[in-house]
Amino acid sequence: MPQLLDTELRQAVEDAAAHLYVWSLKDIPQDLRDALAAAAERETSEPGRRVLSTILRNVEVADDAENLVCQDTGIAVYTCRVGEHFPLHPARIYEALREGTARATLEHPLRSNAVHTLTRENTGPNVGHRLPIVHWEFVDGWDGLDVKCVPKGSGSESMSFLKMCTPAEGVKGIKQFVLESVVGAGGRPCPPGIVGVGIGGSADYAMYLAKEAIARPIGTRNPDPHVAALEDELFGLLNETGIGPMGLGGDVTVLNCHVEHADTHMTLNPVAVNYQCWAARRATAHVAADGGVEFDREA
Ligand code: SF4
């Protein structure tokens, strides 16, 4: 197969990004639909049941009308896994994601949320200085590109917390901080959603890990058995808080709890919490070196 020109491959990535942003906002993954339906089954409080039934109806209406599941189009966040042999430089990939985000916003059209942090003036169609946000991973010996889009609503993103625990506080300190954070957040992050926890690394990396945790399919478990046991324990504890759907009280406060970890300095014990609301939107595009694109709602 002849080598694609940079411009053609760049265009394929831009088109993929434009589609991903809109699609992720409209068509939520099956694991999320299943988790919401299971939550509605197990919720026993009357207000909680009403909230969950309204959420399920909201998803149905969005499907029927091919419209957004929530008005908040969020901040566009992408994670790119770039193969060592993918024939487009990351600088061009970033350009393509930025253009794709702007095009999706103008063409759909979507609400544009991007503002200058100090002046609060709109900076463009969901783009601006360092927007969209792109995280990078590089994969040895591969020639593909995976782009995952996780638009993050402000209600849940505002419920992000970081604590530099001491090593002496240990796992107990981590659990206590996660519980305090979720209880303090109450109904504000539109529960029930996914609680992402990042532990270890440094302050910034712990928060990055918490964001990575919320982007996993619901209920998946960390391959490290110690971390997976912590996920199970936190999931149980968080649902004993009684906060319930939208904070109105009930059995289902979270759909799950995911934890990602990194090794850390011997005198550090960072823990970050990032809440993802019930509208836990995510969608992925697999881009091949020849410009072929496959979309994947479940990754
Ligand atoms: S937190 Fe989520 S569900 Fe709530 S308004 Fe924002 S995007 Fe919508």
**Tell me, what's the pLDDT at 98?**
98
**Tell me, what's the pLDDT at 6?**
87
**Tell me, what's the pLDDT at 2?**
52
Helix (H, G, I), strand (E, B) or coil at 297: coil
Determine the residue of 25, 67, 68, 70 to mutate for testing ligand 1's pocket, defined as the one with the most ligand atoms within 8 A of the Cβ atom.
70
CA of 286 to the centre of ligand 1 (A): 27
Contact 138, 84 (CB under 8 A): yes
What's at 49, amino acid-wise?
R
CA of 58 to the centre of ligand 1 (A): 12
pTM to 2 decimals? Answer: 0.95
CA of 199 to the centre of ligand 1 (A): 25
CA of 90 to the centre of ligand 1 (A): 31
> H/E element holding 174?
helix 170-185
**Tell me, what's the pLDDT at 148?**
98
Rounded Cα distance, 11 and 277, in Å: 32
Nearest CA to ligand 1 atom 7: 153
**Tell me, what's the pLDDT at 162?**
98
**Tell me, what's the pLDDT at 103?**
98
Helix (H, G, I), strand (E, B) or coil at 2: coil
Contact 195, 254 (CB under 8 A): yes
Q: Which residues line ligand 1 (CB under 6 A)?
A: 70, 72, 74, 153-156, 189-190, 277-279
Contact 282, 31 (CB under 8 A): no
Determine the residue of 72, 158, 246 to mutate for testing ligand 1's pocket, defined as the one with the most ligand atoms within 8 A of the Cβ atom.
72
57 contacts: CB under 8 Å, gap ≥ 6 = none
CA of 67 to the centre of ligand 1 (A): 15
Residues of the chain with pLDDT under 50: 1
